[in-house]
Structure 1
């Protein structure tokens, strides 16, 4: 099984920085008797598949189900096309044309490629980590200055052995996890955060629906910015929430040196 140090393609909210804590947590759950050879890991908000990948690395004989709601698999399949477009953009950059001519050249490349990976390509044509989900009509030609020559590696074996499904996360929990034997991995979009990079907006009512559906055992990722601990405390009378614990914290450096605090919460 191939090992990766990060998801092959960027994805907002991927848990690369939480990997060490998460793997330690899995060992803790194993020692606690919560995880065994029959446990089925259900990655309900699969995103880039990173948590599914490292879970399968840690427990290769267990079933790991990745909910690819955002269709990350399609982006992986388009990596050869993405690399070809990146090479074209690099050639345009090296021409040192005027802004208008640069934009015209870029549009020719984009128009010649149907159904390209918008999220990755927009990263080459925008600043400050911005991604344009709908179209690239407002891209900034000068953003080409930050494009790198690094080729995206083919994701050979990245999700080998992982089962892929596409479903609404709450529906997936209600239909799959009801029979027991499942361990839920919950990494929903954080509340009160920028959500344009996700396929669907996840608001407070969605969170309430999720908290009504989840079943022990589970782990849940949340953010201090989203007041996740306060939210769980407000509904702690619910059996599936009662007794929740924080296993670990991680700090992510944001813009202007501000650090965001994220939590790994669990309940057995």
Structure 2
């Protein structure tokens, strides 16, 4: 029986696939029953939402969450994150939503952040203080940026059960994927950082660039789910692979596709894609 699952990650994470969840659950129907005998590998784990949902939908499957960004630490630290939110909110009395934060208020907040004795994460704070989904790699860049009052109104709910049942690892996709090459019942969940898009929220030292993308394509074999968007030209590349019979084109032949429209704002949108093959 399908268990209840979170429809979005418990803490902010750019690129989580919450808008794809109902489609993701439908695709998982290709795995029979409760998933007994199957392994599901969330190769680019991100917020862990895909791994979490997979474990709830197919509870007997072995589900591996490659937590390269150490999101699990953030989830465990939600009480500290809520406590810091209250401290920062105390500085923003009188500010309206999305109002620019003055330099003097900003410096007072930075002082409290530096004094804070619990867990703190610049990625979470970026979602509270930076405008229009902007991302930064570290505290230094966060402190230098212009801030806006975007704190959530309510505390985050404690999510102690979010990672229940998952095997958590932290390794390169080039090391992880080959471990399952000989297992036809190992489903790869592939949601890499998109090419030609901002990647500052990810923990990797280097950007996920063209060479990484080509390595991933060469390692991909069914069964898999591969997420991408029109901003990274992935679908066009797959079409080119097939027409030119490029390396590993067979793995992308006769795939199925789900597309949804994603909106940056009311005037700008793009297409998110899920390509899958069993």
* TM norm structure 1: 0.89
Structure 2 SS opposite 1:254: strand
Deviation at 1:95, TM superposition (A): 6.9
Offset, 1:26: 1.3
Deviation at 1:72, TM superposition (A): 0.6
RCO higher in structure (CA 8 A, sep ≥6): 1
* 1:220-231 correspondence to structure 2 within 5 Å: 220-231=226-237
Aligned residue for 2:143, secondary structure, equals coil
Q: Report the count of equivalent residues.
A: 262
> In the alignment, what sits opposite 1:110?
113
Q: If the length of structure 2 is used for normalisation, what is the TM-score?
A: 0.86
Question: Shift of residue 2 of structure 1?
Answer: 5.7
Residue correspondence of structure 1 range 30-109 to structure 2 within 5 A: 30=31, 36-94=35-93, 99-109=102-112
* Residues in 1 aligned to 2:103 and 2:269: alpha-carbon distance in whole angstroms: 38
> Which residue matches 1:254?
264
Q: Which shifted more, 206-215 or 171-180?
A: 171-180
- Which of 207, 211, 231 aligns to 1:205? It is 211
| Higher mean C-alpha displacement, 235-244 vs 99-108 | 235-244
Change (3 A) 1:162 1:36: closer
For structure 1, which runs of at least 5 residues remain unmatched after alignment? none
Note closer, same or farther for the CA distance 1:240–1:78 as it changes in structure 2 (3 Å cut): farther
Q: Note the alpha carbon deviations across 1:70-99, whole angstroms, 9 max, x for none.
A: 111111122111111110111111277x93
* Distance change >3 Å, CA 37–CA 100, structure 1 → 2: closer
For 1:129 and 1:118, how far apart are their aligned partners in 2? 13
Match of 2:98 in 1: none
Pick aligned residue for 1:232 from 238, 246, 256: 238
Aligned to 1:134: 138
Between the aligned partners of 2:252 and 2:113, the Cα distance in structure 1 is: 51
Say which SS state the counterpart of residue 174 (structure 1) adopts: helix
Q: SS at the partner of 1:216?
A: coil
- Per-residue CA deviations over 1:41-97 (Å, capped at 9, x if unaligned) read 01111110111111111101111111101111111122111111110111111277x
How large is the RMSD of aligned CA atoms in angstroms? 2.2
1:3-14 equivalences in 2 (<5 Å): 3-14=5-16
